[in-house]
Amino acid sequence: MTTPGYKSHISSQFNAELEDVRQRVLAMGGLVEQQIIDATRALMELDAELAESVFRADDKVDQLEVYIDDECSRILARRQPTASDLRLVHAVIKTITDLERIGDESHKIAKMAHELSAQERIYENMVETGHLSRQVSQMVRAALDAFARMDADAALAVVREDAVIDREYEALLRQCITYMMEEPRTIGRVIDLIWAVRSLERIGDHAKNIAEYVIYFVKGKDVRHVSIEQMEKEVRGS
């Protein structure tokens, strides 16, 4: 295996097993990234058919999660990995859990799109929602790229981006509340939109988690629940 961050083993079969797991994680990531794009597009365009395609994609994501989890269990039992190998398997197991949850949040967005498609359109706040979706999609892509390269610096940049997503989410939430106060007849529809926006914010949290697992693998340090300043020190070794 030539991927940065991975070490080569005497057993070529062990190398192949680790590479297979890695590739399947990235394939799963590609599926959930498309789910985000399709779910948000369905919301923006109130496209019920596209929303249903997001529902169908759930099965593929779930199947990959089960397969990868089983493979990791077999590696743990058969190879009894230690040190960085053990961290890698642990990071993979954690990553696929967050990817599956990203798929769940995309499903929620698609569900709101499906429900709103039968109602009068709301144009207010849709531009901002689309902007937030693009930011979140890019964050997920960056987290997956950091995982593919096992790049701690790239992972740190993803973690920093989460604060930007949180600010965008809070600003959009305030706009939605203001709009409901000005147009009370839209309250039900705007609440659905708020739930969809909340799902986007949660997807950002899951992308941050994946980035933290990358840092854990590369640096051997659990950086969950620490400040960004402390995380920077761990990554840069200062």
| Closest by CA position to 88, among listed 234, 79, 224 | 79
Give residue-wise pLDDT tens across range 25-79: 999 999 999 999 999 999 888 899 999 999 999 999 999 999 999 999 999 999 8
Average confidence score pLDDT of the chain: 89
pLDDT at 138: 95
CB 21 within 8 A of CB 71: yes
DSSP 226: S
- Between the alpha carbon of residue 187 and those of residues 57, 121, 176, 228, the distances in Å are 30, 13, 9, 37
72-116 pLDDT per residue, tens: 999 999 988 888 889 999 999 999 999 999 999 999 999 999 988
pTM summary value: 0.90
Task: Give domain 12-232's CATH superfamily.
Answer: Phosphate transport system protein phou homolog 2; domain 2 (1.20.58.220)
Would the pLDDT of 4 be above 60? no
Cα 96 to Cα 213: distance, rounded to the nearest angstrom: 11
Domain ranges of the chain: 12-232
